[in-house]
Structure formats: structure tokens, C-alpha cells
Structure 1
Amino acid sequence: MKLSVFTVVTPDLTPEELGAAAKEAGIDGIEWRFKETPAEFKDEQPSFWRRNLCSIDPSASDEELERFARIASDNGLQTISVTPYLQAGDIEATERVLQVAQKLGAKVIRVGVPGYDRSVNYNELFDKEVRYLEAVEPLAKQYGIKCLVETHHNTIIASASAALRLVSRFNPEHIGVLFDPGNMVHEGYENFRMGMEMLGPYLAHVHIKNTGWKKSEVREDGSQGWTSYWEPNLEGIVNWKQVLSDLKAVGYDGYLGVEDFSGKYASKELLKQYAEEVRAILASI
């Protein structure tokens, strides 16, 4: 297994700084965040989801895209993914991401999945996503880039089994699953090894982060409320040594992308800490 970084977690680094820091940390690949910065955020301090300096703007020209290709090449890094925040059903935007990914030599992109908040029936949302992926699959084949849906809380595929129900009608050469145990602690937990076994050939990429739970306010009915929050990779509920052992057992040999939102480490320190921790676990198993 190799290591990558999703640049959402290095918001204060320029792409050039990220490339050099990833190389120094011994990381193998980059997942470029693909998102514009709205004008109202441009004077803010850098942050994961608002003013992220380490992102590709969707309107970037070919000349601007060459900058990102050059950064990866100059630092001996593979561009693994172009990772956007797509809406399910937006085929035009999806094809734009595929075009950029192809130019950068990426192997995968992340595609949209409907959120779930009780306001729309799950079955309606599921059918909408199936129609979307039916349009995405031939594009994935055309561009030679696999399109991934991510196990993510507050969506219709919070769990591995829910993701499998969605993708099982498609060719795993073109449609796959980004397996994210940290998300599945918020919502969607199943035995992680069982989920990997269920997904089989659809298991295409893995994100590494972690989550905790703590007591919050007492609810109106007097019962105890709980809330989830981000933890550093080795300090949350996910037992990463077990998960990496399980990945090895099912034959996964792809990338492990760091996505630590805990805020415990500065960006460069985060990359070094991540690489040291995960390589030590991989060596022990």
C-alpha cells in the first residue's frame, strides 16, 4: 500500500509547498482538491473547506493545470485523484473533472452522492443517483478514469453495504467506492473487514482519518445527547492497525489518503506524522 494526501487537509500550503512537503515526508501521491474559492472567503485565514490554498479552481486553464502536473512530476509524486464536490446529476461538471483528471494523469475522481436529511425519501434519492451513475459510467470508460462514490455520513451511502447496493449494478472497472472508516464512525459503522469483503472489486481507494464521540446537551425528553467530532488518526475510535491488517488480508494494495481534520498538527507536521505512523503500522503487519 502507498500513501497519498488529499490537499483539503493542507489549506495553508501553496501547491508548490505541498509538493515539497509531501516529498520530504515520503508520501507517494497527491489527491488535488478541486474547488473554487468564493470571493467572500478570499480574505479569510486558510481553512479546510473555505479558503484552501491547495486547490485547483474548476475554471483553471490548461496552462494553470500544467502547474499542478509539474509540481507532482518535480517531486516524484503521482497524481492519484482530482477530488471535487459534485452534485449528483451534474453531468457537465462531472465531465469537466474527468477532463482535468485526464490532463493530470489521475486514475480516479470522486463523483456526487445525494445527501440524506429525512426531507426526501431515500428511494427517490437512490433512483436519482442510479440515473446519474448510468450517465457517468460511459464517461468513465471514455476517459479511462474510475469514478468513485465515498462512504460518507449524512448521505445515502453512509455504510459499505449501502454503497454496494448502489454500485453493484455497474462495472467495477469504471465505478468504485472510496472506503472511509472515519466517516463511518459518524454514521454507517459496520465491521470494517466485512465491508471490505462485501465491496470486493469495488474497493478502489481508502481515506485515513478518525472520529470520536462525546456527550453533548441533554435532549428535550431528558435523554442524553451525543455528538461526534474529529480526532487525530491514532486517537479516535477507528483502530487503524486492525483496518490496515484487514485491507492487507483482502488483498488491497492501493493508496491510503490522509484526511485528518482534527487540527492537532500544522500541515507539514501532519504529513510527516501521518507517514511515520502508517509506515510503522504497515511494517508491523
Structure 2
Amino acid sequence: MKLSVFTVVTPDLTPEELAAAAKEAGIDGIEWRFKEVPAELKDEKPSFWRNNLCSIDPASSDAELEKFIQAAQANGLKAISVTPYLQAGDLAGTERVLQVARKLGAGMIRVGVPAYDGTKNFNELFELEVQYLEGVEKLAKQYGVKCLVETHHNTIAASASAAYRLVSKFDPNHIGVLFDPGNMVHEGYENFRMGMELLGPYLAHVHIKNTGWKKTETREDGSQAWTSYWEPNLEGVVNWKQVLKDLKAVGYDGYLGVEDFSGKYSSKELLLQYGKEVRAILAAI
């Protein structure tokens, strides 16, 4: 297994700074965040989802994309993914991401999945996603880039089994699953190894982050309310040593992408700590 970084978690670093810091930390690959930063946000302090300096603007020209290519190449890193925030059904947007991924030499992108909040019936959203993935699969074949559904809370793919139900009719050479145990602590928890076994050849990528739960206020009926929140990688509910053992047991040999939103470390410290922690676990197992 190899290490990567999703640049959403290094918002204060430029692409060049991120690549140099990743090299220093012993990280092998980069997942480039693919999202515009609106002009009104550019004077803000850098942050994960707003003024993120390590993002590819979807409107970038080929010349502008060169700085991302050169940043990776200059530091001996591989661009493994272009990771956008697509809406289910947006095939034009999906094709744009695939074009950029091929330009950067990345083998994966993340595709859209409908959110679930109870306002639309699950079955309608499921059919929308399956129809979208039918178009996505054709594009994935055309561009030679695998398209991934992420296990993510507040979507119709919160668990491994829910994600599997979406992708199981498609070719795993073109459609796969981004397995994210940290997300599944918020919602969608199943035994992680069982999920890996269920996904089989669809298990295409893994994100490493962690989550905790804590008591909050008492509800109106007097019962106790709880809320989930981000924790550092080795301090939350997910037992990452066990998860990595399980990944090894099922034969996974892909990338492990850091996505720590806890805010405990600065960007460069996070990469160094991540590299140290995960390499130690991999050596131990």
C-alpha cells in the first residue's frame, strides 16, 4: 500500500508547496482537489472547503494545468486522482473532470452521488444515480480513467453495502468505490472488513481520517442528544491498525489518502505525522 494526500486538507499550501511537503513526508501520490474558489472568498484565511489554495479550477486552461503537472513531477509524485464535487446526473461536468484527469495522468476521479435528507424518496434517488453511472461508465471507458463512488454520510452511499448496490451492475475496471471508514462513523457503519469483502474488485481507493462522538444538549423530550465530529487519525473511533490489517488480508495494494479534518496539525505537520504513523502501522502488520 502507498500513501497519498487529498489536497482539500492542505488549503494554505500552493501546489508547489504541497508537492514539496508531500515528498518530504514520504508520500507517493496526490489527489488534486477540483473546485473553483469564488473571488469573494480569496481574501479569506485559507480553509478546507472555501479559500483552498491547493485546488484546480475547473475552468483552467491546459497551460494553467501545467503547474500541477510540474509540481508533482518535480517531486517524484504521481497524480492519482482528480477529486471534484459533482452532482449526480452531471455528465458534462464529469467529462470535464475526466479530461483533466487524463491530462494530469491520474487514474481516478470521484463522481456525484445524491444527498439524502428525507425530502426525496430513496428509490427515486437510486434510479437517478444508476442512470448517471450508466453514462459515467461509457465516459470512463472512453478516457481510461476509473470513476469512484465514495462511502459518504448524508448520501445514498453511506455504507459499503449501499455503495455496492449502486456499482454492482457495472464493470469494476471502470466503476469503483472509494472506501472511507471515517465517513462511515458519522453514518453507515458496518464491519469494515465485511464491507471490503463485499466490495471485492470494486474496492479502488481508501481515505484515512477519523471521527468521534460526544454528548450534546438534552432533546426536548429529555433524552440525550449526540453529535459526531472530526478527530485526528489515531484518536477517533476507527481502529486504523485493524483496518489496515483487514485491507492487507483482502489483498488491497492501492493508495491510502490522508483526509484529516481535525485541525490538530498545520498542513506540513499533518503530512509528516501521517507519513510517520501509517508507515509505522504498515511495518507492524
Give the TM-score, by structure 1 length.
1.00
Secondary structure at the aligned position of 2:19 is classed as helix
Deviation at 1:42, TM superposition (A): 1.1
* Distance in 2 between residues matched to 1:40 and 1:68, nearest whole Å: 24
Determine the structure 1 residue equivalent to 2:16: 16
Secondary structure at the aligned position of 1:158 is classed as coil
Deviation at 1:39, TM superposition (A): 1.7
Determine the structure 2 residue equivalent to 1:102: 102
- Aligned pair count reads 285
Determine the structure 2 residue equivalent to 1:32: 32
Deviation at 1:221, TM superposition (A): 1.1
Deviation at 1:123, TM superposition (A): 0.3
Secondary structure at the aligned position of 1:229 is classed as strand
Determine the structure 1 residue equivalent to 2:180: 180
The letter for the 2-side match of 1:140 is A
Q: Aligned-residue CA RMSD in angstroms?
A: 0.4
Secondary structure at the aligned position of 1:109 is classed as strand
* Distance in 2 between residues matched to 1:159 and 1:222, nearest whole Å: 30
Deviation at 1:110, TM superposition (A): 0.2
* Distance in 2 between residues matched to 1:72 and 1:43, nearest whole Å: 26
* Distance in 2 between residues matched to 1:66 and 1:38, nearest whole Å: 21
Determine the structure 2 residue equivalent to 1:158: 158
* Distance in 1 between residues matched to 2:73 and 2:251, nearest whole Å: 28
Secondary structure at the aligned position of 2:178 is classed as strand
Report whether the alignment pairs 1:272 with 2:280.
no
Report whether the alignment pairs 1:122 with 2:122.
yes
The letter for the 2-side match of 1:122 is F
Determine the structure 1 residue equivalent to 2:5: 5
Deviations 1:91-115 (A, max 9, x none): 1000000000000000000000000
Deviations 1:52-71 (A, max 9, x none): 00000000000011111111
* Distance in 2 between residues matched to 1:39 and 1:101, nearest whole Å: 25
* Distance in 2 between residues matched to 1:92 and 1:282, nearest whole Å: 40
* Distance in 2 between residues matched to 1:157 and 1:35, nearest whole Å: 22
Report whether the alignment pairs 1:260 with 2:247.
no
* Distance in 1 between residues matched to 2:84 and 2:110, nearest whole Å: 6
Determine the structure 1 residue equivalent to 2:212: 212
Unaligned runs of 5+ in 2: none
Deviation at 1:38, TM superposition (A): 1.1
Determine the structure 2 residue equivalent to 1:169: 169
The letter for the 1-side match of 2:49 is W
Deviation at 1:40, TM superposition (A): 1.8
The letter for the 1-side match of 2:150 is E
Deviation at 1:146, TM superposition (A): 0.2
Instruction: Report matched runs for 1:238-253 at 5 Å.
Output: 238-253=238-253
Deviation at 1:220, TM superposition (A): 1.1
Secondary structure at the aligned position of 1:212 is classed as strand
Unaligned runs of 5+ in 1: none
* Distance in 2 between residues matched to 1:168 and 1:155, nearest whole Å: 17
* Distance in 2 between residues matched to 1:5 and 1:75, nearest whole Å: 14
* Distance in 1 between residues matched to 2:269 and 2:36, nearest whole Å: 26
Runs of 4+ in 1 over 4 A off after TM superposition: none
The letter for the 1-side match of 2:84 is P
What is the percent sequence identity of the aligned residues? 83
* Distance in 1 between residues matched to 2:4 and 2:112, nearest whole Å: 21
Secondary structure at the aligned position of 1:86 is classed as coil
Report whether the alignment pairs 1:53 with 2:53.
yes
Secondary structure at the aligned position of 2:282 is classed as helix
